Amino acid sequence: MAIQVGIAPDSWGVWFPEHEKQPSWDRCLNEMAEAGYAGVELGPWGYFPNTAPELKQELDKRNLILVAGTVGGNFLDEASVQDMMKTVDEMAPVLKNFAQAKYIVLLPPMYTDLETGEIAMNPDLTDEEWKRYAGNVQRVADHVASYGLIGTFHPHVDSHIQTEAQIERLLQDTDVVLCLDTGHHVYGGGEPVSFYKKHADRIPYIHIKDCDLDVKAKMDKEHWSFAKAVTENIMVEPGNGSIDFKKFYDALVEKDYNGWCVVEQDLFPVKSFDIPLKLAKKGRENLRAAGFR
């Protein structure tokens, strides 16, 4: 059994293909390697070089392994679904050039406005909307599968699939597998260790994130947006929040998990480009202490 540890550009405050408040992609890659991570995700499509020869050259220079890509959109909207599948059409042929890049993470939309925290979509789906939502998740995952890759659905904060009950409903109504995000899971009121044990056969890919529940309580009390909560450090480096990663590691061993655990610490916008490397190093140290070699 092999549990390998990677990291995503999100841990450098990268939420967009281009943004003045994000570090350059080459700095991000340099620091991922310096922090001691073996693998990386692409992050927003277009942030890293998106042609296979250039991307391979840049990763090889740093001894980094590409493990996944990401695509997001509104699973209730047909035009958005079509856009996601077009992005898959661009991304999948690139991923196919990398032996361990087996996954495309499928991100749902938040029903709250990212900047204001106001409700932007009805948090509750009708049965008809749920059927459309789950059906479109399946469609996009099947489209990913047509390239010989695996579409892993990522439950997300303030989305229609974030609580354990909502996630289990999706598992029941589709054959889609999950990218379990430990921090988002805690944010949604769940407990990631027991949930992983219960559904290990549907979780081939994992995002490691930690959530400070004291900040979450303050967020709820003061009605912050998620973006505001991120600037108040609601998501912290692994080991500095509410999750016992030694217990989580033991659960992975118990269930013979063989794959990648990718650290993803929400940071946008970082107050200084010098911050992410320090946090990434600390998170890697904490994970090593928990058993993640």
- Report the domain count for the chain: 1
Q: How confident is the model at residue 116 (pLDDT cuts 50, 70, 90)?
A: confident
Tell me the per-residue pLDDT of 67-108, one tens digit each, with 9 for 90 and over: 999 999 999 999 999 999 999 999 999 999 999 999 999 999
Tell me the per-residue pLDDT of 178-237, one tens digit each, with 9 for 90 and over: 999 999 999 999 999 999 999 999 999 999 999 999 999 999 999 898 889 989 999 999
Give the pLDDT score at 39.
Answer: 97
Give the pLDDT score at 82.
Answer: 98
Q: Say how many C-beta atoms besides its own lie within 10 A of residue 57's C-beta.
A: 11
Average pLDDT estimate for 127-152: 98
Q: How confident is the model at residue 112 (pLDDT cuts 50, 70, 90)?
A: confident
Q: Over the chain, what is the mean pLDDT?
A: 96
Give the pLDDT score at 279.
Answer: 97
62: tokens are 């740093």
Distance set, CA 282 to CA 29, 36, 58, 177 (Å)? 17, 10, 25, 30
Peptide bond before residue 269 is cis, with ω within 30 degrees of 0: yes
Q: How confident is the model at residue 119 (pLDDT cuts 50, 70, 90)?
A: confident
Give the pLDDT score at 199.
Answer: 98
> Where residue 219 sits, what CATH number does that domain have?
3.20.20.150
- CB contact at 8 A, 108 and 147: no
Average pLDDT estimate for 265-292: 95
Average pLDDT estimate for 263-267: 94
Tell me the per-residue pLDDT of 246-255, one tens digit each, with 9 for 90 and over: 999 999 999 9
Average pLDDT estimate for 286-291: 98
Q: How confident is the model at residue 115 (pLDDT cuts 50, 70, 90)?
A: confident
**What angle, 0 to 180 degrees and rounded to 10, lies between the N-to-C axes of helices 164-173 and 127-145?**
60
Average pLDDT estimate for 19-44: 97
Any idea of the CA torsion for 260, 140, 87, 58, to the nearest 10 degrees? Answer: 10
The identity of residue 126, as a single letter, is T
Q: How confident is the model at residue 61 (pLDDT cuts 50, 70, 90)?
A: very high
End-to-end CA distance of the chain: 12
Residue written as tokens 């030694």?
246
For 61, the 3-state DSSP assignment is helix
Give the pLDDT score at 103.
Answer: 98
pLDDT above 80: residue 114: no
Give the pLDDT score at 113.
Answer: 81
pLDDT above 60: residue 1: no
Tell me the per-residue pLDDT of 36-54, one tens digit each, with 9 for 90 and over: 999 999 999 999 999 999 9
C-alpha torsion sign, points 266, 268, 272, 276? positive
**Residues whose CB is less than 8 angstroms from the CB of residue 232 and which lie 6 or more positions away in sequence, other chains included:** 215, 218, 219, 224
Q: How confident is the model at residue 117 (pLDDT cuts 50, 70, 90)?
A: confident
Give the pLDDT score at 120.
Answer: 86
Q: State the residue range of the domain holding 44.
A: 3-290
Percent of the chain past pLDDT 70, that is, above it, reads: 100
